[in-house]
Amino acid sequence: MRTYLVTGGAGFIGSNYIHYIFEKYGSDIEVVNLDALTYAGNPENLAGIDKEPNYHFVKADICDKEAVAKVFKEFDIDRVVHFAAESHVDRSILDPEIFVKTNVGGTAVMLNCARDAWEEGSGFKAGKKFLHVSTDEVYGSLPEDGGYFYETTPYSPHSPYSASKAGSDMLVRAYMDTYKFPANITNCSNNYGPYQFPEKLIPLMINNALTGKPLPVYGDGKNVRDWLYVRDHAKAIDMVQEKGELFETYNVGGHNEKQNIEIVQLIIDTLLELLPDEDPRKKNVSRDLITYVEDRKGHDRRYAIAPDKIKAAIGWEPETMFKDGIRLTIKWYLENEAWMKNVTSGEYQKYYEKMYSGR
Ligand code: NAD
Ligand code: DAU
């Protein structure tokens, strides 16, 4: 039986990944989810799975060496899938330090503890693998009129978030080069789907539209992101572990570029289509809510992944068309109003006030 240590498994992508591997492998695997439960971590994302005997939750900070080392002592970990991070660009602009601490410092702790636990003779025990989940934002920004991010594109991060993720990627690369540490890196484009915290574009716009609040579009709304349904990302991570070459980096994404304003308009139109007339939320939803606000500082203009390598080497390609994925996502938020209410109470209100007032 294979044992996974998933960090940040109570967050958006981590929880979707845990759902995916439970569906795929069921009781053939053991899963340890190590998560500090910051504002972005939510045990409700794993409701149901948390009752499974082969699921174990450890509330701990990846920066806490003793706590992480203890997990490696208690469990014979075969796979580390490292999601835990501070993940929101806007928050990194407000408060960069925690990004360096968690994303760089925490990754160093994860690498050291895995190395200590897995070392054998002059190498590493057979079958052990560390997958570092990273982002396309490390590559910087592309011009509007063309170009793609390849694995060979030089790093050029612009936000404190992407700089800290670039730092973490460099550490993983250094461990692979120096110690032949058995790892892979994946750099993925923007994810969307269930369980995403509503500080990010898509769930924020859905929540604001349903509650009749302004829809804050940064700058001219023409920045481009390359959107991938989160389950397709989970599948890519699994396939890299199963079929990838150790020490390789794989870009994950799927030629699905959209301007932010297109996304916001599509959300409104889809909400109007899906909501029955008798639903009281329907009267709030309107394109009139769109409000252009001050741009994000250092706002990257365009991201676009070239997924050629992962397709050729591993056979992965995105399966969910955007038109289907966005409907599934909007339906999920409509059906999970209690989840949204829960995560937007308390701390979220203070964040929203600080981030958007005066914009
Ligand atoms: P998220 O913010 O939704 O979740 C992060 C999780 O990490 C939360 O459960 C949080 O509690 C946990 N966490 C944060 N700090 C921690 C710490 N110090 N110790 C232990 N746990 C901690 O993030 P996400 O959007 O799911 O992103 C997951 C990973 O994927 C990140 O590494 C991010 O850089 C990367 N990524 C995200 C996207 C995207 O579109 N969201 C795209 C590409 C890559
Ligand atoms: O590209 C991968 C990255 O995608 C991940 O590494 C990050 O963790 C993830 O947060 C995401 O970063 P972005 O900054 O692209 O995502 P966000 O949802 O914050 O913003 C998407 C676009 O929408 C961006 O151009 C900014 C814009 N935006 C965002 C918000 C929250 C708005 O116009 N208004 C908003 O209120």
Extents of the domains making up the chain: 2-192+228-253+298-319
Mean pLDDT of 316-333: 97
% of the chain exceeding 70 in pLDDT: 100
Tell whether pTM > 0.95.
yes
Q: What is the pLDDT of residues 266-295, one digit of tens each?
A: 999 999 999 999 999 999 999 999 999 999
Of 103, 133, 190, best ligand 2 pocket probe by most atoms within 8 Å of the beta carbon? 190
How much distance in Å is there from the Cα of 29 to the middle of ligand 2? Answer: 34
> What per-residue confidence (pLDDT) applies to 228?
98
pLDDT reading at 25 higher than 90: yes
Averaged pLDDT of the chain: 97
Candidates 29, 30, 34, 91; CA nearest to 59 is 34
Q: What tokens appear for 247 in the block?
A: 């020490």
User: Which candidate in 78, 136, 226, 300 is catalytic?
Assistant: 136
C-alpha 292/C-alpha 206 separation (Å) is: 16
- Using an 8 Å Cβ cutoff, are 228 and 256 in contact? yes
> What per-residue confidence (pLDDT) applies to 101?
98
Alpha-carbon separation of residue 251 from 151, 164, 240, 313 (angstroms):
6, 18, 11, 12
The residues with which 259 forms a beta bridge, in sequence order, are 224
> What per-residue confidence (pLDDT) applies to 224?
98
pLDDT reading at 359 higher than 90: no
Q: Whose CA is nearest to atom 10 of ligand 1?
A: 41
How much distance in Å is there from the Cα of 277 to the middle of ligand 1? Answer: 37
C-alpha 167/C-alpha 185 separation (Å) is: 13
pLDDT reading at 326 higher than 90: yes
Give catalytic status of residue 35 as yes or no. Answer: no
Provide the greatest CA pair distance for the chain: 68
Q: What is the pLDDT of residues 169-184, one digit of tens each?
A: 999 999 999 999 999 9
C-alpha 155/C-alpha 53 separation (Å) is: 42
How much distance in Å is there from the Cα of 85 to the middle of ligand 1? Answer: 4
List ligand 2's pocket residues with C-beta within 6 A: 87-89, 135-137, 189-190, 200-201, 204, 216-218, 223, 225, 260, 296, 303
C-alpha 253/C-alpha 109 separation (Å) is: 28
* Residues 6+ away with beta carbon under 8 Å from 231: 16, 20, 193, 320
| Nearest atom in ligand 1 to 16's CA | 26
Q: What tokens appear for 28 in the block?
A: 């053939």
**Nearest-5° Cα angle at 270, 87 to 258:** 50
Q: How confident is the model at residue 358 (pLDDT cuts 50, 70, 90)?
A: confident
How much distance in Å is there from the Cα of 279 to the middle of ligand 1? Answer: 34
> What per-residue confidence (pLDDT) applies to 285?
98
| Nearest atom in ligand 2 to 165's CA | 6
Q: What is the pLDDT of residues 148-166, one digit of tens each?
A: 999 999 999 999 999 999 9
Q: What is the pLDDT of residues 340-351, one digit of tens each?
A: 999 998 899 999
> What per-residue confidence (pLDDT) applies to 129?
98
Q: What is the pLDDT of residues 57-88, one digit of tens each?
A: 999 999 999 999 999 999 999 999 999 999 99
C-alpha 131/C-alpha 271 separation (Å) is: 37
Give catalytic status of residue 169 as yes or no. Answer: no
Give catalytic status of residue 161 as yes or no. Answer: yes
| Nearest atom in ligand 1 to 252's CA | 43
> What per-residue confidence (pLDDT) applies to 346?
84
Candidates 57, 44, 54, 68; CA nearest to 21 is 54
How much distance in Å is there from the Cα of 11 to the middle of ligand 1? Answer: 6
CATH topology of domain 2-192+228-253+298-319: Rossmann fold (3.40.50)
List ligand 1's pocket residues with C-beta within 6 A: 7-8, 10-14, 35-38, 40-41, 61-63, 83-87, 102, 106, 133, 135, 165, 188, 190-191, 197
pLDDT reading at 259 higher than 90: yes
